[in-house]
């Protein structure tokens, strides 16, 4: 009865939202065509990427896949599910399809049809994934100029709509399809929303639909204290990040914790980032001479190896609106002009950007505008 009530309330309150940054279809191709797709998110997966792959696989009878090592927030969620089997939670299957160099394993290189979640750019996928085998895209980010171009990908199988989380989009698709969401999948979808909206505090990207899906899923999920759940989820990520920062020998892994590349025109930009509940403490540690020297050295190495035009490293505070942005000497003016309304010098090669509680995509958007204006 509770589920039917949620469906009724949702249908009454929902409205279709659209803007210039949207490609959205009101209906999917038949489940027969979409079944058996391997759903995969971006490299260096975060919780929204992992959880949306699992949810999409359940919704379309496909296979949940992960392109990289499981992140700390997703590990926390999986542990939570494993510890709550008495509440009816069952850990869903997920397959890692890449090696340590972010290439598809040989058994996944051919004969696989892919569905993308939380991503629509080839630069964020394994380099040997054939984009002509992509048959579905579901992504909450605004459309970029580097949208994957696959002539066999039908428009009705592309859903790119600015939301706070891809899990929000998939939750709506579950409700619209009238497929029941179990406590396990409500927990999974909630986790993705919590992660990518920073527990619904990201004002710039969190939409009314994110709030509605959050409230509906909260009624179904087997989570007694949602605030405590979110706090422990964020703490899991912070603890993992701090472990990597304790030694100069592991700082290279810190830059790869959430490594993202963006294409803007003919410029290739990397913006690795870490999100933590203790950004100032982490930045102070990274500002120690031996650590900062290693961070900048690793940034230069990544720039050369990946043939990048620019690279930045962001330490983002999840609890307070601020970001610490590391940059190479040649990009100092670009950073200053990209954030001219607010940047302050924290230290050499580090800018402090207050009032910026953002995802990497938002930070990049400001840098991209300045690159395009040059």
Distance CA 265, CA 28 (A): 31
CA dist list (Å): 142 to 19, 149, 258, 297: 10, 16, 19, 32
Are domains 2-224 and 248-373 of this chain identical in fold?
Answer: no
Helix (H) or strand (E) holding 344: strand 344-347
Distance CA 342, CA 114 (A): 42
Amino acid 3: pLDDT: 54
What mean pLDDT comes out for the span 283-292?
94
Distance CA 49, CA 65 (A): 10
Query: Residue 245: phi, psi to the nearest 5?
Result: -90, -5
DSSP helix/strand/coil, 157: helix
Q: The domain 248-373 is classified under which CATH number: 3.40.50.720, 3.40.1160.10, 3.40.190.10, 3.10.310.20?
A: 3.10.310.20
Q: Half-sphere exposure of 97 toward its Cβ, with a 13 Å CA cutoff?
A: 30
How does DSSP assign 106-153, residue by residue?
Answer: GGGSSS--EEEES--BGGGS-TT--GGGEEEEEE-SPP-TTB---TTS
Distance CA 278, CA 163 (A): 26
pLDDT range class, residue 29, cuts 50, 70, 90: low
Amino acid 361: pLDDT: 75
Closest Cα partner for 310 from 264, 357, 360? 264
| pLDDT tens per residue across span 106-139 | 999 999 999 999 999 888 899 999 999 999 999 9
Distance CA 9, CA 159 (A): 24
What residue segments make up the domains of the chain, in order of their start?
2-224, 248-373
DSSP helix/strand/coil, 99: coil
| pLDDT tens per residue across span 133-164 | 999 999 999 887 778 888 889 889 999 999 99
Residue 257 pLDDT > 90, yes or no?
no
Amino acid 348: pLDDT: 94
Distance CA 352, CA 11 (A): 44
What mean pLDDT comes out for the span 175-200?
95
Residue 16 pLDDT > 50, yes or no?
no
Q: Could you tell me if 117 and 52 are in contact, meaning their C-beta atoms sit under 8 angstroms apart?
A: yes
Q: Could you tell me if 374 and 314 are in contact, meaning their C-beta atoms sit under 8 angstroms apart?
A: no
What mean pLDDT comes out for the span 284-288?
94
Distance CA 334, CA 370 (A): 7
Select the more confidently predicted residue: 283 or 13.
283
Would you tell me how many other CB atoms lie within 10 Å of the CB of residue 24? 13
- Percentage above 90 pLDDT, the chain: 66
Closest Cα partner for 237 from 96, 104, 74, 365? 74
What length is written for the chain?
374
Amino acid 216: pLDDT: 95
CATH superfamily of 2-224: inorganic pyrophosphatase (n-terminal core) (3.90.1640.10)
Residue 35 pLDDT > 60, yes or no?
yes
DSSP 88: T
- Crossing angle between the packed helical segments 2-13 and 208-220, to the nearest 10 degrees: 170
What mean pLDDT comes out for the span 32-45?
87
> Mean pLDDT in the chain?
88
| Residues in contact with 314: Cβ distance below 8 Å, sequence separation at least 6, in sequence order | 271, 272, 273, 274, 323, 324, 325, 326, 360, 363
| Residues in contact with 24: Cβ distance below 8 Å, sequence separation at least 6, in sequence order | 18, 159, 160, 161
pLDDT range class, residue 7, cuts 50, 70, 90: low
How does DSSP assign 165-187, residue by residue?
Answer: -HHHHHHHHHHHHTPPPPHHHHH
DSSP 67: S
Distance CA 176, CA 11 (A): 9
Q: Could you tell me if 97 and 103 are in contact, meaning their C-beta atoms sit under 8 angstroms apart?
A: no
- Crossing angle between the packed helical segments 166-177 and 47-60, to the nearest 10 degrees: 20
């Amino acid at each position: 009865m509770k589920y039917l009530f949620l469906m009724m309330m949702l249908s009454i309150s929902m409205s279709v939202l659209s803007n210039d940054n949207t490609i959205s279809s009101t209906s999917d191709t038949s489940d027969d065509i979409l079944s058996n797709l391997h759903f995969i998110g971006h490299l260096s997966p975060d919780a929204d990427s992992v959880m949306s792959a699992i949810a999409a696989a359940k919704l379309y009878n496909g296979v949940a896949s992960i392109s990289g090592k499981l992140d700390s927030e997703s590990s926390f969620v999986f542990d939570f599910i494993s510890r709550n089997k008495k509440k009816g939670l069952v850990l869903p299957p997920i397959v890692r399809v890449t090696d340590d160099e972010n290439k598809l394993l040989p058994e996944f290189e051919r004969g696989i049809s892919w569905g993308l979640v939380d991503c629509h750019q080839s630069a964020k996928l394994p380099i040997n994934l054939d984009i002509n085998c992509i048959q579905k895209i579901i992504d909450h980010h605004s459309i970029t100029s580097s949208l994957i171009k696959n002539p066999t990908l039908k428009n009705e199988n592309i859903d790119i709509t600015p939301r706070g989380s891809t899990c929000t989009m998939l939750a709506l698709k579950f409700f619209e399809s009238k497929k029941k969401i179990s406590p396990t999948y409500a927990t999974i979808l909630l986790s993705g929303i919590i992660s990518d909206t920073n527990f619904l505090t990201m004002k710039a990207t969190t939409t009314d639909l994110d709030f509605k899906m959050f409230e509906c899923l909260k009624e179904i999920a087997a989570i007694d204290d949602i605030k405590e759940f979110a706090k422990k989820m964020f703490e899991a990520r912070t603890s993992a990040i701090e472990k990597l920062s304790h030694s100069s020998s592991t700082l290279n892994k810190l830059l790869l914790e959430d490594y993202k590349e963006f294409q803007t025109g003919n410029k290739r930009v990397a913006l690795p980032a870490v999100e933590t509940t203790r950004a100032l403490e982490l930045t102070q540690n990274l500002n120690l001479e031996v650590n900062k020297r290693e961070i900048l050295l690793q940034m230069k190495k990544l720039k050369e190896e990946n043939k990048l035009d620019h690279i930045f490293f962001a330490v983002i505070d999840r609890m307070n609106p601020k970001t610490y942005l590391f940059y190479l000497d040649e990009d100092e003016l670009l950073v200053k002009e990209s954030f001219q309304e607010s940047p302050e010098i924290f230290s050499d090669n580090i800018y402090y950007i207050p009032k910026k509680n953002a995802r990497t995509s938002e930070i990049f958007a400001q840098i991209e505008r300045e690159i395009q204006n040059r």
